[in-house]
Structure 1
Amino acid sequence: MTILVVGASGATGSKLVEQLLMLNHRVKIIVRSPEKLPDACKTNDNLQIITASVLDLTDDEIREIVKDCDAVASCLGHNLSWKGIYGQPRKLVTDATRRLCDAIKYNKPQRAVKFVLMNTTGNRNRDLDEPISFAQKCVIGLLRLLLPPHVDNEKAADYLRIEIGQDNPYVEWTAVRPDGLINEEVVTDYKIYPSPTRSAIFNAGKVSRINVAHFMARLIHDADLWAKWKGQMPVIYSAAAH
Structure 2
Amino acid sequence: MRILVVGASGATGKQLVKQLLNKGHEVIVIVRSAESLPGSWQNDLNLTVVQASLLHLVEERLEEYVQDCQGIVSCLGHNLTLKGIFGEPRKLVTDAVTILCRAIRKNAPDKRVKFVLMNTTGNRNRDLNEPASLGQRLVVGALRRLLPPHLDNEEAADFLRTHIGQHDQYIEWVAVRPDSLIDQDEVTGYEVYPSPIRSPIFNAGTTSRMNVGHFMASLLTEDETWQRWKGKMPVIYNKEPARGKK
- What is the aligned partner in structure 2 of residue 42 from structure 1? 42
Give, in whole Å, the separation in 1 of the partners of 2:62 and 2:104.
9
- Give TM-score scaled by structure 2 length: 0.97
- What is the aligned partner in structure 1 of residue 163 from structure 2? 163
- What is the aligned partner in structure 2 of residue 225 from structure 1? 225
Identity across aligned pairs (percent)?
59
> How far off its partner does 1:42 sit?
2.3
- What is the aligned partner in structure 1 of residue 213 from structure 2? 213
| Unmatched 5+ stretches in structure 2 | none
Give, in whole Å, the separation in 2 of the partners of 1:173 and 1:98.
13
Q: Confirm or deny that 1:94 pairs with 2:91.
A: no
> How far off its partner does 1:27 sit?
0.0
Q: Structure 1 stretches (4+) deviating beyond 4 angstroms?
A: none
Give, in whole Å, the separation in 2 of the partners of 1:161 and 1:33.
31
> How far off its partner does 1:240 sit?
2.6
- What is the aligned partner in structure 1 of residue 114 from structure 2? 114
- What is the aligned partner in structure 1 of residue 127 from structure 2? 127
- The residue identity in structure 2 corresponding to 1:91 is K
Give, in whole Å, the separation in 2 of the partners of 1:208 and 1:41.
22
Contact 1:205 1:241 in 2 (8 A): no
Deviations 1:64-120 (A, max 9, x none): 110110000000000000000000000000000000000001110000000000000
> How far off its partner does 1:241 sit?
7.2
- Give TM-score scaled by structure 1 length: 0.99
- What is the aligned partner in structure 2 of residue 202 from structure 1? 202
> C-alpha root-mean-square deviation of aligned residues, in Å?
1.0
Give, in whole Å, the separation in 2 of the partners of 1:208 and 1:43.
27
- The residue identity in structure 1 corresponding to 2:202 is F
- What is the aligned partner in structure 2 of residue 67 from structure 1? 67
| Unmatched 5+ stretches in structure 1 | none
- What is the aligned partner in structure 2 of residue 138 from structure 1? 138
Give, in whole Å, the separation in 2 of the partners of 1:15 and 1:199.
26
Give, in whole Å, the separation in 1 of the partners of 2:216 and 2:197.
20
Give, in whole Å, the separation in 2 of the partners of 1:148 and 1:42.
35
